[in-house]
Chain A
Amino acid sequence: MPEPSRPSAAVVVATYNRPDHVRRCLDHLAAQTVTPDAVIVVDSSPGTQTRDVVAERAGVTYLRNERGAGHTATSRMIGVAAAGDVDVVAFVDDDAYAEPDWLELLLRRYDDPTVGAVGGRATNGQPGEEREGLGAIGRFLPNGTLTGHFAADPGRDVEVDHLLGANMSVRRAAVEEVGGLADHYPGTCLREETEIALRLRLAGYRILYVPEAVVEHVAGPYAKGRRFDLRYTFYGERNHLVLLGRTVGVGDVRFRRYLGVGARTALGHVRYAAVAAARRPRVFGDDSKTRGIANGLSRAGVCAAGGLAGAAALVRLGVAGELGGAR
């Protein structure tokens, strides 16, 4: 029986050095209740293992991202360009395993022409995560910060301002209308997927979070351990400033408010160090005081460095005429 009319769709999997995860991810895509018009794996790994995994699969396209690690947005761009003239491009992480009806549920929402992007839940296996952050899923707040909570299950579709790259889709024509994807988010790639969603929102498109459209998000090998490390903090600050500059623009009140948020965060780390410095060691040889001071000061320093790196990136983008807001 022919499939009922639905938008044409390509699924893009951006990957780096996770061949086993890619294999399982593709297994799940092969089991979808609607068959995507294309499945494209964009690989930035140095080796050939992922290429070999994809070669086992008929109908899956393998492409290279020669920029290597830290350029997930470039992988997405390569995937979108290769997807051709489809209506919708869906993205799923290599360590995210889609439920069989995932794509079908996402595509159903595109009947509404005001919808520019649709995403779903990414479960992490944490107890109670389905209730965490209800009412605050995927929000861009007036102080320039973002909320996540993409494992929450509100029980119905809700409107959001941005989505999680592990489980999102975009209307291709809308993405072209707002200028396409861009890659200005190096390092941990934090915020790279947020930019396109915010630009779609600013252009007036609605973005839907569909809790029924689920992927199981397992942490890949290099994402394990303490994610909120100094590197994460640095790129978090840097990339967030770039995100705001690229979307709302540096003249926007939310950009200015975020500078205050960043300054308070850095001062909070300094305060932490000061409290540690004033603390008496509980027992002889207790080095918690030293660790507390070092921890607070290093985080404050990394916050400030991230902010400065973000400012430098914004200057470069400004010179190139690639900032948002005033465009």
Chain B
Amino acid sequence: MKIGAYVLAGDPAWVEDSVGSYYDLVDHIVVAYDQDGLSWSGDPLPVDEALARLRAVDRDGKLIELPGRFSDPTRPALALDTAQRQAALDRAGVGVDWVLQLDTDEIVASPERLLACLRRAEAVGADSLDYPLRFFYQRSGDRFLELSRRFWGPRAGYPGPVAVRPGAHLALCRQTRASVYRVDFRARNTDPWNHGDVRVDEVIPLEEGIVHMSWVRTREQMLSKSSVSGHASERDWPAVLQEWDRAARHPRLMSAMSVFSRKRDRHIRLTAAPVPLRGRDWYEPHAEPR
């Protein structure tokens, strides 16, 4: 089975951990980026830093760079996100059986399990693989805050299929309408955004889920994220950052109180480091919240 991958260059925070976690699985990695160094909404993006760090981990020459113009303040960010991914997917699908679509802050905790699930998806005739992501929200000392079910049970996230067939059409961001092989942490769906009885094809241990470090960042990076994210306009960022700061200061309290939240993306639990991390300089001394 030949596997390709694509990434969007623009978010360097976890790029070494992310790409390094599946580098050996893939034949090539297409790197799509905006050649003007701009985000979808027109803000400056650290594209050069992301490219430099990607090139640094490319020990076997697997990167294929795909520059383009993906910034347009007059168009919805999610439409541009989808277009950029589609261009990358179309290129990454050449000569392979599957294409991984992982963001550069998503770390494959168990490449062996991911590969086994991909093989199973292939055998049963599915055209995409939904593999669970664990969403990490904040760090406090050597502990991490992770989104969970109301009473701290494991929770899976599915921003879109982790792998799709070449030629797949992306409906929105990573999402497709292709037939899916769905992996979860429990035999009954653990994604609060899905119905409890949605089909689960395979159950894996929590430790083997993909680690999504989306909000485990410095405050500066979070401020940057608030302006360049495709979902930037959907959130009240000052309030979001205030709560995020509070979580770093009072992780136990935050976790305990979260059971009372009526919002399904506010339930949180404390956990250890999900995978061995490379520990970049920016990451170790957590920026002191103001």
Contacts and interface: CB of A to CB of B under 8 A. Distances in A.
Interface in A256-315: 257, 260, 264
Interface string B145-183: 000000000000000000000000000000000111100
Interface residues of B, number: 19
A159 B201 CA distance: 13
A135 B181 contact: yes
A141 B178 CA distance: 20
B125 A158 contact: yes
A159 to B, nearest CB: 4
B56 interface: no
B125 A135 contact: yes
B124 A160 contact: yes
Given A135-B180, A135-B181, A136-B201, A257 B123 contact: no
Interface in B95-126: 121, 123-126
- Name which of A135, A137, A158, A257 has the most chain B CB atoms within 10 A of its CB: A135
Interface in A56-93: none
B188 A139 contact: no
B231 interface: no
A147 B188 CA distance: 15
Interface string A135-151: 11101011100010000
B11 interface: no
Give the contact-size bracket for chain A.
20 to 34
A185 B197 CA distance: 26
Given A135-B181, A136-B179, A143-B188, A159 B200 contact: no
Given A136-B179, A137-B125, 20 more contacts: A135-B121, A135-B127, A135-B179, A135-B180, A135-B181, A136-B124, A136-B201, A137-B124, A139-B124, A141-B199, A141-B200, A141-B201, A142-B200, A142-B201, A143-B187, A156-B125, A158-B124, A159-B124, A253-B187, A257-B187
Interface of A: 134-137, 139, 141-143, 147, 154, 156, 158-160, 209, 253-254, 257, 260, 264
Interface of B: 121, 123-128, 178-181, 187-188, 197, 199-203
